Structure 1
Amino acid sequence: DAPVTALPTKTTQIIAIYGKGGIGKSFTLANLSYMMAQQGKKVLLIGCDPKSDTTSLLFGGRACPTILETSSRKKLAGEDVKIGDVCFKRDGVFAMELGGPEVGRGCGGRGIIHGFELIEKLGFHDWGFDYVLLDFLGDVVCGGFGLPIARDMCQKVIIVGSNDLQSLYVANNVCSAVEYFRKLGGNVGVAGIVINKDDGTGEAQAFADAVGIPVLSSIPA
Structure 2
Amino acid sequence: MTLDIPNLKDGGTISDFDQRLREEAHEDLADIIAEEPTSKTQIIAIYGKGGIGKSFTLANLSHMMAEQGKRVLLIGCDPKSDTTSLLFGGKACPTIIETSTRKKLAGEEVAIGDVCFKRGGVFAMELGGPEVGRGCGGRGIIHGFELLEKLGFHDWDFDYVLLDFLGDVVCGGFGLPIARDMAQKVILVGSNDLQSLYVANNVCSAVEYFRKLGGNVGVAGLVINKDDGSGEAEAFAKAVDIPVLASIPQDDDLRKKSANYQIVGTAQSQWGALFAALGENVAVAPPVRPEALSQDGLLELFDGSETGEGVVLEPATDEDMRGKNAEPRESLEVVYDTV
Q: CA deviation at 1:120?
A: 1.1
Which residue of structure 2 lines up, in the alignment, with residue 53 of structure 1? 82
Distance 1:2 1:96 in 2: 29
Map Cα deviations across residues 164-209 of structure 1 (whole Å, 9 max, x no partner): 0100000000000001111111111100000001111111111111
> Could you give the per-residue CA deviations for residues 106-163 of structure 1, whole angstroms, max 9, x where no partner exists?
0000000000010011111211111000000000011100000000000010000000
CA distance in 2, matches of 1:163, 1:51: 24
Cα distance in 1 between the residues matched to 2:224 and 2:38: 32
Report which of the two structures shows the higher radius of gyration computed on alpha carbons: 2
Instruction: Tell me which residue corresponds to 2:242.
Output: 213
Aligned with residue 155 of structure 1, among 153, 163, 184: 184
Shift of 1:8: 7.6
How many percent of aligned residue pairs carry the same amino acid? 88
Q: Post-superposition shift, 1:3?
A: 5.3
Q: Which residue of 1 aligns with 2:30?
A: 2
Residue 109 of structure 2 corresponds to 80
Report the counterpart of residue 146 of structure 1 in structure 2. 175
Letter in 2 for 1:87: C
**1:83 Cα deviation from its structure 2 partner:** 1.0
**Aligned Cα root-mean-square deviation (Å):** 1.4
Residues 3, 187 of structure 1: 8 Å contact kept:
no
Question: How big is the shift at 1:61?
Answer: 0.4
- Unmatched tracts of structure 1, length 5 or more: none
Q: Counterpart amino acid of 1:155?
A: Q
Q: Paired residue for 2:64, among 20, 32, 35? A: 35
Tell me, yes or no, if the aligned pair for 1:44 and 1:93 is still in contact at 8 Å: yes
The alpha carbon displacement at 1:64 in A equals 0.5
Counterpart residue identity of residue 164, structure 1 = D
| More strand, by proportion | 1
Is 2:37 the counterpart of 1:21?
Answer: no
Taking structure 2 as the reference length, the TM-score comes to 0.63
The equivalent position to 1:132 in structure 2, one of 161, 168, 171, is: 161
1:220 is displaced (CA, Å) by 1.2
CA shift, 1:11, in A, is 2.0
1:117 aligns with 2:146: yes
Deviation at residue 10 of structure 1 after TM alignment: 3.9
Aligned pair count?
Answer: 219
Whole-angstrom CA distance in 1 between matches of 2:140 and 2:71: 26
Compute the TM-score of the two structures, normalised by the length of structure 1.
0.96
Which residue is equivalent to 1:202? 231
